[in-house]
Amino acid sequence: MLRFVEETGSTNADMLALVEQGAPEGTWLRAGRQTGGRGRMGRVWESPTGNLYCSTLVRIGPNDPLPHTLALVTANAVHALVAPLCAGQARIKWPNDLLVDGAKIAGILLERVGDAIVIGIGINVAGHPTHLDRSVTSLAAQGADDAQAGALLERLAQLFAHWLAIWRAQGLDPVRTHWLLNAHPTGTAMRVVQPDGEVVEGAFDTLDRQGMLILRLANGQSRAIHAGDIILT
């Protein structure tokens, strides 16, 4: 079920409220504009009209893979939607971003309440901020001038359902394998700022079987990263 509102504070906040009201899995909410959009770690997500702001929910069952790995499911779906529309190369950046030639075009935010994971997705369709301290792009800037948020959501919902079914039926392995094919290559230099402020530098090695990033340090050792900001260097 796809719902649309012209304006709201945050589609994730609205979806969290709908979860409490018993909304079923497969519900999608799209807003034409958000006044309080947010990204990971409480960051503001600018939300002008014309871009895609949406949220959905997954009800976690007893036999499902680890809930946080839904970030990989979502990233695979968003990549499949965006990559064919871009002039540049779209790649997934752990944990929740999509970049085109190094510029951010989409972000993902997971939040949990009870047995539900709410997944927020923001995709720059018609425009993107120009005053940030990092490179950002949009589908329009990538040559997809005719892309429309409503039609994109319909396709995204189909792609997400496809990858969610694989995640449930076959486990994380095929999802992880596909993610790795479309993410930053092995050996990509990166700096990780962890939630406690510690900074770790190394090179991307792989994802482990739980979806954690494995960083290869300069001394040859490996380190599992559970959360943090990734800066490609």
63-103 per-position pLDDT tens digit = 999 999 999 999 999 999 999 999 999 999 999 999 999 99
Q: What is the mean pLDDT of the chain?
A: 93
Structure tokens at 84: 């064919």
Q: What local confidence, expressed as pLDDT, does residue 43 receive?
A: 54
pLDDT (mean) for 201-208: 97
A 10 A CB-CB count for 56 gives 28
One DSSP character per residue, 127-196 reads: ---SSSSS-B--TTTTT-TT--HHHHHHHHHHHHHHHHHHHHHH-HHHHHHHHHHTBSPTT-EEEEE-TT
Q: What local confidence, expressed as pLDDT, does residue 130 receive?
A: 79
- Asked if 222 and 205 count as a contact pair (C-beta separation under 8 A), the reply is yes
End-to-end Cα spacing for the chain = 41
Q: What local confidence, expressed as pLDDT, does residue 37 receive?
A: 63
38 confidence band (pLDDT: 50, 70, 90): low
- Asked if 134 and 104 count as a contact pair (C-beta separation under 8 A), the reply is yes
151-175 per-position pLDDT tens digit = 999 999 999 999 999 999 999 999 9
Q: What local confidence, expressed as pLDDT, does residue 132 receive?
A: 76
Q: Which residues contact 6 (CB under 8 A, 6 or more apart)?
A: 31, 32, 33
* pTM of the predicted protein model: 0.93
